[in-house]
Amino acid sequence: MESKPHLRVTRRQFVTNSAAAVAAGTLAAAFTPSAQAAPATEQDPEGQRTDRGPFRVIIDTDPGVDDALALLLAMRSPELKIEGITPVAGNVPLDLTLPNALRMVEIAGRTDIPVAAGAKMPLVRRLVTAAYAHGENGLGGAVFPEPKTKPIAQPAAEFIRAIVRKYPGEVTLIPIGPLTNIATALNLDSELAGMVRGIVLMGGSLSGGNITPAAEFNIYVDPEAARIVFQSGIPITMVGLDATRKTSLTEDHVRTLEAAQNPVSQAAAKIGRNAINHNRELGFLVGPNMHDSLAVAAFLDPSILKFKEYYVDVETTGELTSGETLGYSPRAGDLRRKPEMEKQAAAMNMSIRGSAPTLATTRTSPVLRDKFVPNAKVALDVDSAKFFNLLIGRLSASAPA
């Protein structure tokens, strides 16, 4: 892979440059799908797909049923050069997510990948887990031997910082859990954001939550960390509930995995079957959604999803809405303009507004940003069949693709 130049971009430079690009009727190169998500398949000028890679990635995760399958998918994808896996507390506490990640590394035969233990708690909140959805062990009750592989001594945030600095402009972060580790790394190093190639994350929603009516789980667990990440200036691809709700694992998927005779497919089938049974016991009509695997797939093949650009921010103070992701756009909702006016509207002073000021403050304006500047490509739809062809195909293959 060609080495990209090391660009140090401050937040002010990022906002200024992006606003200028919007005013010109186009987005900066940092917001093209190839630069933002660093996809492993791109289109050449003729419209044909061209393979690229391997791409350097770090996967930040809280396994978790769908996290486990996402890790197995990533480790079966030769387009990825996985520099490390950084578990974080989320679906279950760190003392379970860490060994679960180590188990997946061993099952995939990829003990060459460093695993660095991350945060045990969110930045400023008590940990809320999702054992109700993932089982007490995080893997839907599927039991595997204790891992023999040990994590490296370096903490996750320091590991992320070291790898990004070692390969400036080359590393894409794929966080599929709460964003505590990523935010901590950014807080450790004010220059780090300008060195990250992009972030492809599973989290958020523009259409309602799954742990509260407003919030998606990963963002809800650590909204302060999420806000740091979304405001970092790093190009973001957000794969949230708007798309992942359409990725239910089925009996047919599990049977295909069970029929394949390799350790990865057998482990994935075991986790998947336990998760489906767990969902049935809880009265759900469908199997578990493969939220996190879709984020990995979005990196591997962005054509699986449909994206739209938004300025995304995170609610951190609302009693009922904390963790909600808000998407601002002159191309969506009641703010939508005529197609011929969209570019002009984007260049106008569309303010990004927060709550109105109260009588107790001297603040006179609820404006958070003077102009609309997109900071994320948000996945709004998915070709589910194409996604599962990728996921089940790679997990069930006799050897990595």
- Residue 206 — left, alpha, or beta (φ > 0 → left; ψ -120 to 50 → alpha)? alpha
If you average pLDDT over residues 370-398, what whole number do you get?
94
Cα–Cα distances (Å) from 381 to 76, 253, 259, 294, 378, in that order, read 25, 21, 30, 11, 9
If you average pLDDT over residues 159-165, what whole number do you get?
98
If you average pLDDT over residues 164-170, what whole number do you get?
98
If you average pLDDT over residues 145-160, what whole number do you get?
98
**What local confidence, expressed as pLDDT, does residue 120 receive?**
98
Please indicate whether residue 291 is annotated as part of the active site.
yes
Query: What does the mean pLDDT of the chain come to?
Result: 86
Indicate whether 17 pLDDT > 70: no
The residue type of 53 is G
Secondary structure (DSSP) of 307-361: EEEEEEEE--S-TTTTT-EEEE-TTSGGGPPPGGGHHHHHHS---EE-PPPPTT-
d(CA 223, CA 362): 26
Residue 325 has φ and ψ, to the nearest 5°, of: -100, 125
Query: pTM value?
Result: 0.86
Q: Which residues pair with 308 in a beta bridge?
A: 378
d(CA 260, CA 141): 22
Two tokens, residue 337: 């303009």
User: Which range is least confidently modeled, 121-125, 191-195, 318-322, 347-351?
Assistant: 347-351
User: Which range is least confidently modeled, 85-89, 204-208, 311-315, 363-367?
Assistant: 363-367
d(CA 372, CA 127): 34
Q: Is-contact 216 178, C-beta < 8 A?
A: no
**What local confidence, expressed as pLDDT, does residue 51 receive?**
54
User: Which range is least confidently modeled, 119-128, 149-158, 265-274, 347-356?
Assistant: 347-356
Residue 327 CB-half CA count within 13 A: 27
Burial class (CB in 10 A: 0-12, 13-18, 19+), 15: middle
d(CA 154, CA 84): 11
**What local confidence, expressed as pLDDT, does residue 205 receive?**
98
Indicate whether 38 pLDDT > 60: no
- pLDDT level of residue 13 (50, 70, 90 thresholds): very low
Indicate whether 7 pLDDT > 60: no
d(CA 176, CA 293): 9
- pLDDT level of residue 40 (50, 70, 90 thresholds): low
Two tokens, residue 69: 């399958």
Secondary structure (DSSP) of 43-108: E-TTS-EEE---EEEEEEE---HHHHHHHHHHHT-TTEEEEEEEE-SSSS-HHHHHHHHHHHHHHT
Measured from the Cβ of residue 398, the count of other Cβ atoms closer than 10 Å reads 9
d(CA 334, CA 266): 48
- pLDDT level of residue 361 (50, 70, 90 thresholds): confident
Query: What residue segments make up the domains of the chain, in order of their start?
Result: 11-329+372-396
Residue pointed to by tokens 């893997």: 139
Residue pointed to by tokens 């509930």: 241
Contacts of 302 (CB under 8 A, 6+ apart): 33, 37, 39, 41, 237
If you average pLDDT over residues 102-111, what whole number do you get?
98
Indicate whether 77 pLDDT > 70: yes
Query: Which among 134, 253, 278, 291 is annotated as catalytic?
Result: 291
d(CA 240, CA 205): 5
> Coil, strand, or helix at residue 248?
strand
Two tokens, residue 108: 């995939």
Q: Which of 380, 382, 384, 383 is nearest to 205 (CA)?
A: 380
The tens digit of pLDDT for each residue in 258-302 reads 999 899 999 999 999 999 998 888 787 778 999 999 999 999 999
**What local confidence, expressed as pLDDT, does residue 369 receive?**
80
Indicate whether 20 pLDDT > 90: no
Rg (CA), the chain: 20
- pLDDT level of residue 393 (50, 70, 90 thresholds): very high
The residue type of 180 is T
**What local confidence, expressed as pLDDT, does residue 114 receive?**
98
CA 114 to chain centre: 20
Greater confidence (216 vs 398) lies with: 216
The tens digit of pLDDT for each residue in 218-260 reads 999 999 999 999 999 999 999 999 999 999 999 999 999 999 9
**What local confidence, expressed as pLDDT, does residue 323 receive?**
98
* Fold observed for domain 11-329+372-396: Inosine-uridine Nucleoside N-ribohydrolase; Chain A (3.90.245)
